[in-house]
């Protein structure tokens, strides 16, 4: 099995989750999981349903407390911090189920992502919101109530809200769910742009294998709450055990 640090160029990981264990009513959801994500790196997280992917993201973001393990940003322990304080430290996430404010407009929902950064000048905040709207192709609906948008567009609003604050670490839980092919391409372009622009570290879960393979520098595969494999997309796609446990069939051509 590859080391969590394999392929990482940053001397210190932007995100470390070490020895994470989580049990629910006696059921072990995570059993000593280690992951690291370097600055400007995208780590894809794959695995069958029930393998512990969302539980790991929930432990990292503070939604649930692990029974054991440590969570660090830039080498600094944050496991004791609330979700709000983790957000102020630069750790932002999206959710598998939408958590938008339905009585606010699209632009207002995106601006909510800047609430933890009260020191930014008003004009700078407006410019960041405009850029996020443009990156997700949402300029024409910026003043509409978000509740009037179709599901795929609402997913893009949530991603825009997560990116607008230029986080150090971005956790993405099923960002591609419900998106059409053109919307998925917009999402991919926005995430690549964010990674290039402010060296955001990303940890991403998605059942769209092509999306994960195309965006990730490395991939970790979970099975039964443990790390089954870690490696490059090409290594993971060609691993017989991963194919047996999760992939089933490898895409004929990996996306670039």
Catalogue all structural domains in the chain, each as residue range(s) with its CATH number. 13-101+166-247 (3.40.50.300)
**What is the model's pTM?**
0.86
Task: Quickly state the pLDDT bin for 136 (edges 50, 70, 90).
Answer: confident
CB 37, CB 202: distance < 8 Å = yes
**What distance in Å separates the CA atoms of residue 203 and residue 153, rounded to the nearest whole number?**
22
Mean pLDDT over 131-143 rounds to 92
Question: How many C-beta atoms lie closer than 10 Å to residue 189's C-beta?
Answer: 13
State residue 234's pLDDT score: 94
Lowest mean pLDDT, pick from 1-5, 149-153, 167-171: 1-5
Q: Tens digit of pLDDT for each residue in 237-247?
A: 888 888 887 76
Average pLDDT over residues 184-206: 91
Contact 199, 40 (CB under 8 A): yes
Give me the pLDDT at residue 256, please: 40
Number of Cβ within 10 Å of residue 150's Cβ equals 10
- Rounded CA gap, 162 and 168, in Å? 11
Pick the range with the lowest mean pLDDT from 4-13, 74-83, 171-180, 209-218.
4-13
253 vs 11, 119, 214, 234, 236, CA distance in Å?
32, 46, 11, 10, 13
Rounded percentage of the chain residues whose pLDDT exceeds 70 = 91
The pLDDT score that the predictor gives to residue 247 is: 63
What pLDDT is attached to residue 248? 58
Mean pLDDT of 27-41: 96
Task: Using the predicted structure, report yes or no on whether residue 9 has a pLDDT greater than 50.
Answer: no
* pLDDT > 60? residue 254: no
Task: Kindly tell me if the per-residue pLDDT of 146 is higher than 90.
Answer: yes
Q: Which tops the pLDDT comparison, 111 or 116?
A: 111
Taking residues 62-73, report their average pLDDT.
Answer: 96
Q: What percent of the chain has pLDDT over 90?
A: 63
**pLDDT of residue 17 exceeding 70:** yes
């Amino acid at each position: 099995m590859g080391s969590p640090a394999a392929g990482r160029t940053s001397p210190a990981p932007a995100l470390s989750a070490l020895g994470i264990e989580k049990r629910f009513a006696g059921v072990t959801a995570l059993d000593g999981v280690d992951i690291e994500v370097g600055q400007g790196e995208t780590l894809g997280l794959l695995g069958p349903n029930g393998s512990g992917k969302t539980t790991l993201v929930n432990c990292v973001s503070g939604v649930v407390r692990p029974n054991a393990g440590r969570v660090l940003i830039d080498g600094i322990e944050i496991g004791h911090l609330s979700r709000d304080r983790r957000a102020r430290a630069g750790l932002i996430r999206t959710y598998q189920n939408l958590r938008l404010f339905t009585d606010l407009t699209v632009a207002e929902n995106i601006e909510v992502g800047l609430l933890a950064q009260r020191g930014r000048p008003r004009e700078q905040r407006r410019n960041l919101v405009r850029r996020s709207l443009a990156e997700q192709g949402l300029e024409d609906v910026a003043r509409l109530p978000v509740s009037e948008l179709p599901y795929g567009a609402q997913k893009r609003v949530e991603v825009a809200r997560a990116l607008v604050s230029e986080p150090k670490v971005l956790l993405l839980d099923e960002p591609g769910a419900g998106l059409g092919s053109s919307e998925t391409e917009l999402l991919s372009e926005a995430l690549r742009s964010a990674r290039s622009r402010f060296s955001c570290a990303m940890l991403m879960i998605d059942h769209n294998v092509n999306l994960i393979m195309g965006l990730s520098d490395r991939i970790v595969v979970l099975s039964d709450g443990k790390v089954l494999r870690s490696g490059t997309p090409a290594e993971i796609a060609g691993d017989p055990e991963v194919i047996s446990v999760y992939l089933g069939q490898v895409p004929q051509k990996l996306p670039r």
